Amino acid sequence: MNVFRLLGDISHLLAIIILLLKIWKTRSCAGISGRSQVLFAVVYTARYLDLFTSYISAYNSIMKLVFLAASYGTIYLMFIKFKASYDHNHDTFRIEFLILPCVLLSLLINHEFSPLEILWTFSIYLESVAILPQLFMVSKTGEAESITSHYLFALGSYRALYILNWIYRYYAESHYDVIAIVAGIVQTVLYCDFFYLYITKGIYGQ
């Protein structure tokens, strides 16, 4: 565990908490893409199935459980509790165009052709593009609420920090994972336009 990895995890956790609190406090999920949230639930479920097969550390297990619980909690709030506020007219990104290529790619390019490894690979590929329905929704409606922007900034920063962690690990431990690195870079690049707007508006805006 290095500082970049820890900051990345904190940023990820922060993003999820911001989203849950926003929905809970405003009793509304307006502006949030349910499709992205469903994709994230698929990502965590596929990746964290190893919770039952390989124990790493208490930190690792607890974080996995928190991400799973928060993700399903968000889905519950969006699709059941505050269903009336869900903005589905603007949430129209076709997620099969993301899921099917990721399934195919994970079957073709993986570290080992075994069920859990393929699920892990699939989750890495899908995570890299899972935010697209949300970014599409923001561009469609013109602007995101500031709290939604903070959520997106924290969520985008998480993978960017992981890239720094991989650079560090490459030099310090001679360790690298090509699949995670390439997907992580794709994921971070997708946020670049948003990062630019967030930072310039944050500094010069109002």
Partner 1 sequence: KRTKSTKDEL
- Please report, as ranges, the residues that interact with partner 1 according to CB under 8 A: 1, 5, 9, 12, 50, 54, 56-57, 60, 63-64, 67, 111-112, 117, 120, 162, 165, 173, 175, 177, 180
Nearer of residues 99 and 180 to partner 1, judged by Cβ: 180
Nearer of residues 107 and 199 to partner 1, judged by Cβ: 107
Minimum CB separation of residue 66 from partner 1 in Å reads 10
Nearer of residues 67 and 153 to partner 1, judged by Cβ: 67
Nearer of residues 30 and 163 to partner 1, judged by Cβ: 163
Minimum CB separation of residue 63 from partner 1 in Å reads 6
Q: Secondary structure of the chain in the HEC alphabet?
A: CCHHHHHHHHHHHHHHHHHHHHHHHHCCCCCCCHHHHHHHHHHHHHHHHHHCCCCCCHHHHHHHHHHHHHHHHHHHHHHHHCHHHCCCCCCCCCCHHHHHHHHHHHHHCCCCCCHHHHHHHHHHHHHHHCCHHHHHHHHHHCCCCHHHHHHHHHHHHHHHHHHHHHHHHHHHHCCCCHHHHHHHHHHHHHHHHHHHHHHHHHHHCC
